[in-house]
Copies of this chain bind each other. A is one copy, B any other.
Amino acid sequence: MLVPVLMCLAAGDVRGASGPTAEVVAAQLRDAAMAGHDIAYSWVSELTTRFGPRPAGSKSEQQAADWAAAKLRALGLENVRIESFPLTAWVRGSESARLIAPSTQPLVIAALGESPPTPAGGLEGDVVIFPTLTDLKAAAPGSLSGKIAMVAQRMVRAQDGAGYNAAVPGRTDGPQEAAQRGAIAYLLRSVGTDSHRQAHTGTTRYVEGRVPVPAFALSPPDADQIERIAALGQTVRVHLFSGASYVPDARSQNVIAEVRGRERPQEVVLLGAHLDSWDQGTGAIDNGTGTAIVTAAAKLIRDLPHRPRRTVRVVLFGSEEVAQPTAPGHTFGGHSYAVNHQAELANHVLAGESDFGTDRVYMFALPSVAAHGEFARTLLRVLTPIGVLTSDRPPEDFGADVTPTVEAGVPPFALSQDGMTYFDIHHTPDDTLDKVDRAQLDQNVAAWAALAWLAADSDVDFRPRTAPGDGAVKP
């Protein structure tokens, strides 16, 4: 844990104005977090216990936002406010699925987010299995008339989540591809890496204002079972029911709080995470821990004897889960923030989001202009003792909520987490508090506090020398 901080006193752009250098303070923040500060764990414990699931636009999401705002004030953060925005909420109803031929067997499924309900009596059809989405796309128009299309692609386990990006088009685009070929419903092997009887939900794409057919994720063992029965040469017929519904006049909200900068408070280092969750679990790792990490990092900075030069702003976004791939009317928290704060974005110096579970941070990535300078070298010295590398590439995955902000020209950073087990429980009923490892949670807080402090106490300009963004938020 000891770092040779005294060797770094000459580091120009990260030196504090007086007292200890910024690097010494960053190391102190890191060590305070690693010592087992209880802020983060108690935050995620209380959040998930009091409010349970927090679907976008729900009462529980709103109650959690009110609680979060009060909690942020109690922690001593400033300018705490809630910014509300409208959306059409999707509500899971009762749902069921069963094999009806060649034998009767229950199936574990979950309607995909935004999926329309089935008819009241359900629907049934023979299942046509496609190994991948590409195979489905190769099917002839009309060839699935009256059928239920199923894509059986398996997600690959990979540390950086690359397997998710490869599999998720089966979820986002599968329903419309099936519908275009006449299918009456769509089944997807869950986009997940586990083998439990739990289905991984997630949103799917709107086409002309709606998801075209009822769409469901199958638990991995149920997808296996259907494939094995088909391999016996038998036609698989299933019955599907979903009572999902929509609430057109719902509202969600972002919660914002700050540690105001002492010299240039208008300059903002944005730390984001989303407060909403899918409805099956209690949103512990997606994304209760993210909100806990950025809150605890800001709280540790707030408790320092002096503030950073710039402002550290925490944004707990609402309604993130329905933002992928496209929220109806683009009304998700990340978009709402970028629109509301458009005039400020030119003064946002850096933005990042914690939304990849609770496993340890193993790498950081900075905008190209800062990736090889003294700022990066200082950060590396501070984070090396807690097992963090520096990336040789600029941030690529920086989170759905900060994307509109980044697209408007704000430089992103990433603190990459080990995602080897994240997709075992992502978007399932199993996303509950017992999955949170306190030590790894604290390591995340350490990394976030150190990076946020160093960026906020510096005068580094992270923007490219020729700015690619035009400062405008995409519609």
Contact = CB atoms under 8 A, between A and B. Distances in A.
Nearest to A59: B104
Interface centre among A45, A196, A225 (most CB of B within 10 A): A196
Interface stretch (A5-13, A293-301, A383-391, A425-433): A425-433
A221 B433 contact: yes
A195 B434 contact: yes
A232 interface: yes
A432 B52 CA distance: 29
B221 A49 contact: no
Given A49-B232, A196-B430, 17 more contacts: A50-B102, A52-B99, A52-B104, A52-B105, A52-B106, A52-B225, A53-B106, A195-B432, A195-B435, A196-B198, A197-B281, A220-B434, A224-B432, A224-B433, A224-B434, A225-B282, A228-B433
A233 to B, nearest CB: 12
Interface residues of A, number: 37
Identify the 5 closest CB pairs spanning chains A and B, nearest first: A52-B105, A197-B429, A221-B432, A49-B228, A195-B434
A106 B279 CA distance: 9
A120 to B, nearest CB: 16
A60 interface: yes
Interface string A390-432: 0000000000000000000000000000000000000011101
A225 B220 CA distance: 26
Copy total for this chain: 2
Contact of A196 (B196, B279, B282): B196
Contacts of A429: 108, 197
Nearest to A228: B49
A74 B265 CA distance: 82
B195 A225 contact: no
Contacts of A17: none
Interface string A176-216: 00000000000000000001111000000000000000000
B105 A225 contact: no
A166 interface: no
A106 to B, nearest CB: 7
Nearest to A231: B49
Contact of A103 (B52, B102, B104, B228): B52
Nearest to A224: B434
Interface in A92-112: 99, 102-106, 108
A51 interface: yes
Contacts of A430: 196-197, 221
25 contacts: A45-B228, A49-B228, A49-B229, A50-B102, A50-B229, A50-B232, A51-B103, A52-B106, A52-B225, A53-B105, A53-B106, A60-B105, A106-B279, A196-B430, A197-B198, A197-B280, A197-B428, A197-B429, A197-B430, A197-B432, A220-B434, A221-B434, A225-B282, A225-B432, A225-B433
A337 to B, nearest CB: 27
A103 B225 contact: no
A102 to B, nearest CB: 8
Contacts of A53: 105-106
A279 B106 CA distance: 9
Contacts of A428: 197
Nearest to A52: B105
A104 B50 CA distance: 10
A331 to B, nearest CB: 24
B225 A104 contact: no
Given A224-B434, A225-B432, A228-B49, A104 B60 contact: yes
Nearest to A45: B228
A253 to B, nearest CB: 18
Interface in A274-327: 279-282
